[in-house]
């Protein structure tokens, strides 16, 4: 990877973050109807995820091009976690603001904060990414003393697992503690967010264990299967909600779940890449980045149909805007998997 390409791959997540922040603020400021008060903050805080992805990209790229410094080791994860905390705090503030639609909006924003924290943990696990090619080339499968210790490895996986578990508990509480449409919508979106957080367990575990050198050949399928399964769960629930709630105003949440499923499958590209190149030559490694490109296009094409549908049914206003933001997330993930492929695969 040359310096120019490294700048491009770091610019993509920043550009997508700027898009989410700008588009979300524009939606929110352009009117006072409930749909805008929901779509605006959600799209805006998708930018926090893009910032955390930028931190992951910068952490890996700087190691590849030899500009990684001791300060950067702590700076980039700290930036990601800071945005995660700010996003959760803003979500709690929205819930308590009694603004129109604040219940759904606030809970979803808090969920986006949880995803941001998981992505920031991926950035933390990538601070010794340069060891992965060396460990992959070691035919003895021995643990690298320069990698994470057993405790550090376990802590990284525990952090993202605890966040994912919190998202699942949050989802269950939203479903069980209320029967209002707002509870169903918020609970369903939190279900998709929990699927994304669970998918990120596989990514963090794959990176951390490969850095340490204790990633085994047998566990490759389990991590890939976990991510694909989470995407499948979100996708199936989305279809169920679309068809079972047909004619009701809240069936739009099914499209949001489909978008979250596409994000899960975008994450799978990184997990699949790391699995395929571990102690193996994978000639098609440079084709894997096409997965998040396809998911990004799927989000944008679906958003285009929903923009048109919103002209006739107002309930599609929110998913049309949110899916546009999801497309930005998927495109950002394209830059990450391209960086992984450049830095970890055998040429």
Please count the helices (runs of H) and the strands (runs of E) in the chain. Answer: 11, 0
pLDDT beyond 80 at 244:
yes
pLDDT beyond 90 at 261:
yes
pLDDT band at 345 (very low <50, low <70, confident <90, very high): low
> CB of 147 within 8 A of CB of 212?
yes
Residue 140 is predicted with a pLDDT of 79
- The predicted model gives 298-308 an average pLDDT of 96
pLDDT beyond 80 at 291:
yes
- The predicted model gives 239-262 an average pLDDT of 93
Q: How far is it, in rounded angstroms, from Cα 77 to Cα 124?
A: 5
- The predicted model gives 328-336 an average pLDDT of 95
CA nearest 77: which of 16, 112, 122, 110? 122
pLDDT band at 218 (very low <50, low <70, confident <90, very high): confident
Residue 104 is predicted with a pLDDT of 95
- The predicted model gives 312-322 an average pLDDT of 95
Going from the C-alpha of 112 to that of each of 59, 87, 135, the distances in angstroms are: 22, 7, 34
- The predicted model gives 320-336 an average pLDDT of 96
Instruction: Name the 3-class secondary structure at 328.
Output: helix
pLDDT band at 52 (very low <50, low <70, confident <90, very high): very high
Q: What is the mean pLDDT of the chain?
A: 93
pLDDT digits (tens, 9 = 90+) for 15-26: 999 999 999 999
> CB of 282 within 8 A of CB of 345?
yes
Q: Which residues of 80-115 are buried (b: 16+ CB within 10 A; e: fewer)?
A: bbbbbeebbebbeebbeeebebbbbbbbbbbbbbbb
Residue 60 is predicted with a pLDDT of 93
Residue 1 is predicted with a pLDDT of 67
Residue 284 is predicted with a pLDDT of 76
Q: How far is it, in rounded angstroms, from Cα 275 to Cα 182?
A: 40
Q: How far is it, in rounded angstroms, from Cα 134 to Cα 221?
A: 22
- The predicted model gives 94-123 an average pLDDT of 94
Any residues with CB less than 8 A from the CB of 321 and at least 6 apart, and which? 23, 27, 39, 40, 42, 43, 303
Residue 344 is predicted with a pLDDT of 66
Q: Specify burial of residue 52 (Cβ count, 10 A radius: 0-12, 13-18, 19+).
A: buried
Could you identify the residue written with the tokens 């599609």? 316
pLDDT beyond 80 at 135:
yes
pTM of the model as a whole: 0.95
**Between the CA atoms of 43, 31, 18 and 56, what dihedral angle is there, to the nearest 10 degrees?**
-20
Residue 32 is predicted with a pLDDT of 85
Could you identify the residue written with the tokens 């979300």? 24
pLDDT beyond 80 at 235:
yes
- The predicted model gives 279-285 an average pLDDT of 78
pLDDT beyond 90 at 285:
no
Q: Which residues of 133-150 are buried (b: 16+ CB within 10 A; e: fewer)?
A: bebbeeeeeebbeebbee
């Amino acid at each position: 990877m040359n310096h120019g390409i490294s700048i491009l791959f770091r610019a993509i997540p920043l550009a997508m973050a700027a898009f989410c922040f700008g588009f979300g603020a524009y939606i929110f400021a352009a009117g006072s109807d409930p749909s805008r008060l929901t779509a605006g903050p959600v799209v805006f805080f998708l930018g926090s995820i893009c910032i955390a992805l930028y931190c992951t990209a910068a952490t890996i790229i700087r190691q590849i091009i030899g500009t990684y410094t001791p300060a950067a080791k702590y700076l980039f994860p700290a930036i990601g976690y800071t945005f995660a905390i700010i996003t959760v705090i803003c979500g709690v503030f929205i819930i308590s603001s009694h603004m129109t639609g604040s219940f759904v909006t606030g809970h979803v924003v808090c969920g986006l904060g949880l995803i941001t924290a998981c992505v920031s943990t991926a950035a933390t696990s990538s601070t010794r990414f340069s060891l992965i090619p060396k460990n992959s080339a070691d035919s003895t499968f021995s643990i690298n003393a320069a990698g994470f210790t057993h405790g550090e490895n376990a802590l990284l996986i525990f952090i993202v697992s605890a966040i994912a578990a919190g998202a699942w508990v949050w989802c269950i509480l939203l479903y069980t503690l209320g029967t209002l449409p707002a509870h169903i919508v918020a609970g369903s979106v939190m279900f998709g967010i929990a699927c994304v957080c669970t998918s990120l367990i596989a990514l963090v575990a794959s990176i951390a264990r490969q850095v340490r050198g204790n990633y085994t050949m047998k566990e490759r399928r389990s991590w890939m299967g976990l991510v694909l399964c989470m995407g499948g769960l979100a996708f199936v629930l989305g279809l169920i909600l679309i068809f079972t709630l047909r004619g009701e105003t809240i069936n739009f949440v099914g499209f949001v779940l489909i978008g979250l499923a596409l994000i899960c499958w975008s994450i799978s590209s990184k997990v699949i890449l790391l699995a395929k190149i571990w102690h193996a030559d994978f000639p098609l490694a440079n084709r894997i980045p096409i997965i998040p490109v396809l998911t990004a296009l799927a989000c944008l094409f679906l958003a285009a149909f929903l923009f048109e549908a919103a002209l006739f049914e107002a309930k599609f206003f929110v998913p049309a805007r949110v899916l546009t933001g999801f497309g930005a997330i998927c495109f950002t993930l394209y830059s990450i998997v391209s960086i992984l492929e450049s830095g970890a695969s055998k040429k």
